[in-house]
Amino acid sequence: MYTLRLQMVTRGRKGLAAIFAFCQSLIFVTAIRAVLTNLDDLYITIGYVAGFATGLVVGMTLESRLAIGYTHLRIYSTSRGSQIAEQLRAEGYGITEVAGRGKDGVVTLLNCAVFRRDAEKVVGLVESIDPQSFISAEAVRTTTKGFWPISRSG
């Protein structure tokens, strides 16, 4: 619950964050009451600790499979920026190209916002065109639903 709640908070999903917070608090209060009323029972304490750790791992796994939200990719290429942009546009992704100058000369910066579930596919496409490219990714917090008409390919 904690992992999912945190993801909803960082993505600005207040309703879902509140639901997960309620469930998290209910589980916490119930579990802590059981531990505190049986402080002399080591197995209950170990059970709580193991359950907490297991819940964290399950939450992380579930959250990565749900892949809610968007990822903003910044792609830096010194030689194949136009090819990358053309290929990603052909796949249905919106790309903004920016020409720049880095320490080693001219560089193309590509900005691309994609659904999180598509990020790995986009990174694979970029790396197949330019293995020397540098890609950074960060979570996107949208403030207006439907503000960016991001297409879903495949």
Q: Where are the domains of the chain?
A: 2-66, 70-140
pLDDT at 55: 86
Half-sphere exposure of 150 (CA within 13 A, CB side): 22
Instruction: Name the DSSP letter for residue 78.
Output: S
Q: Tokens 């819940």 label which residue?
A: 55
pLDDT at 154: 44
Compute the distance between CA of residue 148 and CA of residue 70 in angstroms, rounded to an integer.
11
The sheet carrying 105-115 orders its strands as 96-102, 105-115, 70-77, 134-140
pLDDT at 144: 55
Phi, psi of 93, deg, nearest 5 = -95, 145
Query: What does each of the 154 residues of the chain score in pLDDT, given as a tens digit?
Result: 888 888 788 777 788 889 999 999 998 898 888 888 888 888 988 988 998 899 889 888 887 777 777 889 999 999 999 999 999 999 999 999 999 998 889 999 999 999 888 899 999 999 999 999 999 998 876 665 554 444 444 4
Pick the CATH number of 70-140 from 3.30.70.120, 3.40.190.10, 1.10.3720.10, 3.90.190.10: 3.30.70.120
Tokens linked to 9: 């908070």
Q: Tokens 């608090």 label which residue?
A: 25
pLDDT at 111: 95
